[in-house]
Amino acid sequence: MRGRPKTFDRDEALERALEVFWQKGYAATAIGDLTSAMRIGRQSLYDTFGDKHELYLEALARYKEMRIRTTRDMLEAPGSPLANLRAFFAMWREEATEATSGCMMVNSSTEVGAVDDAAARIIEKALARLEELMREALERARDAGELSELASPRALARLIVTSANGIAARSRLGMTVEEVDDVIETLTAVVTGASQAAVAR
Amino acid sequence: MRGRPKTFDRDEALERALEVFWQKGYAATAIGDLTSAMRIGRQSLYDTFGDKHELYLEALARYKEMRIRTTRDMLEAPGSPLANLRAFFAMWREEATEATSGCMMVNSSTEVGAVDDAAARIIEKALARLEELMREALERARDAGELSELASPRALARLIVTSANGIAARSRLGMTVEEVDDVIETLTAVVTGASQAAVAR
DNA sequence: CCATTTTTGGACTGATTAATCCAAACAAGG
DNA sequence: CCTTGTTTGGATTAATCAGTCCAAAAATGG
């Protein structure tokens, strides 16, 4: 290897770019915001990551991987599948009340989803994967005897992921614990079968 | 009245601005996009609506009113409260599958919610009102004997509105009928009390 | 016809943007 | 020390943006 070696870590810089895009979105993020957060020069950014849009897509893909990994690790942890589901809800609750970043994929959907096909494809695949992980977790809980029959694990998984997306959107404005808890407790009751209502007659 | 009379309808122009902001968001909408959609000159826009941000807030407030009005009209229609709830779900389903505009309040939350206090306040109040309308509708259905006891009408209302927000975010990427139906059918089952799962043991 | 007001659009300002170019500093290996 | 490659930041470009100013045209009432 000849020449001056790279002094910054590509992954670290990408991670810092991710945080800026996650918080501020695509359009509102200026190159200067990125270089200062990433602590690299402007030219290094273009040399290393292409342009702003490429960097955004790479950050979004990284976010997607992170989100899928943590979800899978949580839901597929050893032990009680139902306890894992509860732990997942708890994590989600913490995130919604302690931060206003929301979910980068939800933010991206609403901001650029309709015009950025590459971003849309990343998000669509990620949401499908998250639904799959959730469905499998529900089925494991059922197979372990912690839940009785589920009418449609897939449909229930979709409701859960959709609700998570709704919470994420809302948390951009700031959410109280009470607001999140209402949603989570109701969903938990649905999953565990405590009926919220019963058809009369 | 002396002088040339106004030739455009302020409400119509505002409605057209609303549609642009709804579809494209705040930052991505240029003044030129607005004037051409509103079919008025640039100076008329500034004279009539102040500046871009004021116009956005007014459009957002108009959207909020529209959304609350249609929701209330639907949920408070004469006849069966439960049928009204089902009609509400049906409308929501149509919107999610036939358009990619989503919900302007959800779009606004994720884009400017964290930095635009005026917009945030409009949205927070609107969501609280929608939750209230939904809670009241659930209570009417219960009181009419169409649903049995509800553990927490408020919590259930929050789950429903949150899911609607999640669907709205997701619909920006385009949604299939199947995806929406899974969520709506599960929610309907929750409301009507058809158990999705029961605690084992 | 004149006064009044509105509409329209071009010219303009000032700021900001993404992106490129370039030169100087810098750091390693041969 | 010299070659190679990297980092940095200033200069620059070309585009875009919101917003203001202004003048001409248009439409009404007196």
Protein CA at A7 to nucleotide C1' at C30, angstroms: 21
Chain mean position to CA A187: 18
Distance CA B75, CA B83 (A): 9
* Mutation choice for A interface testing from B104, B130, B170 by most A CBs within 10 A: B170
Taking CB atoms within 8 Å and a gap of at least 24, the contacts of A153-158 are A154/B182, A155/B182, A155/B183, A155/B185, A155/B186, A156/A190, A156/A191, A156/B186, A156/B196, A156/B197, A157/A131, A157/A132, A158/A131, A158/B179, A158/B182, A158/B183, A158/B186
CA-based nearest residue in chain A for residue B26: A111
Q: Percentage of residues in chain A with pLDDT exceeding 90? A: 80
Confidence (pTM): 0.92
Whether residue A199 is predicted with pLDDT greater than 80 in this model: the reply is no
Residues in B touching A183 (Cβ below 8 Å): 155, 158-159, 162
| A15-45 tens-digit pLDDT | 999 999 999 999 999 999 999 999 998 998 9
pLDDT score of B2: 66
Judged by CB atoms closer than 8 Å, whether chains meet at B192 and A197 is answered as yes
Q: What is the pLDDT of residues B171-199, one digit of tens each?
A: 999 999 999 999 999 999 999 875 444 33
Q: For residue A188, what pLDDT is reported?
A: 94
Please tell me the predicted confidence (pLDDT) of residue B34: 94
Sort out which chain A residues have CB atoms less than 8 A from B117's CB and list them.
none
Is the model's pLDDT at A194 over the cut of 90? Answer: no
**Residue-level pLDDT at A184:** 96
Chain B residues near residue A160 by CB distance under 8 angstroms = none
Give the relative orientation of helices A31-38 and A52-75 as an angle to the nearest 10 degrees.
50
**Phi and psi angles of residue B39, each rounded to the nearest 5 degrees, phi first:** 55, 45
pLDDT at B159: 97
* Pick from A133-137, A185-189, B4-8: least confident: B4-8
pLDDT in tens, A124-171: 999 999 999 999 999 999 999 999 888 899 999 999 999 999 999 999
List the B32 CA – D22 C1' distance (angstroms): 20
Q: A43-99: per-residue pLDDT in tens?
A: 989 989 999 999 999 999 999 999 999 999 999 999 999 999 999 999 999 999 999
Footprint of strand D on the protein (CB under 7 A): A 2-8, 39-44, 47-48; B 1-5, 7, 29-32, 42-43, 46, 51-53
CA-CA distance, A146 to A130, in Å (whole number)?
A: 21
Encode pLDDT of B26-60 as tens digits.
999 999 999 999 999 899 899 899 999 999 999 99
Say if residue B121's pLDDT is above 90. Answer: yes
- Cβ contacts (< 8 Å) between A137 and chain B: which residues? none
CB-based contact A197 B142, cutoff 8 Å: yes
Give distance CA A31 / C1' C9 (Å): 34
- Please indicate whether, in this complex, the C-beta atoms of A165 and B169 are within 8 angstroms of each other: yes
10 Å Cβ neighbour count for A148?
Answer: 15
Distance A13 CA to D5 C1' (A): 20
Counts of helices then strands in chain B (DSSP H, E): 9, 0
Q: pLDDT, tens digit, for every residue of B142-165? A: 999 999 888 899 999 999 999 999
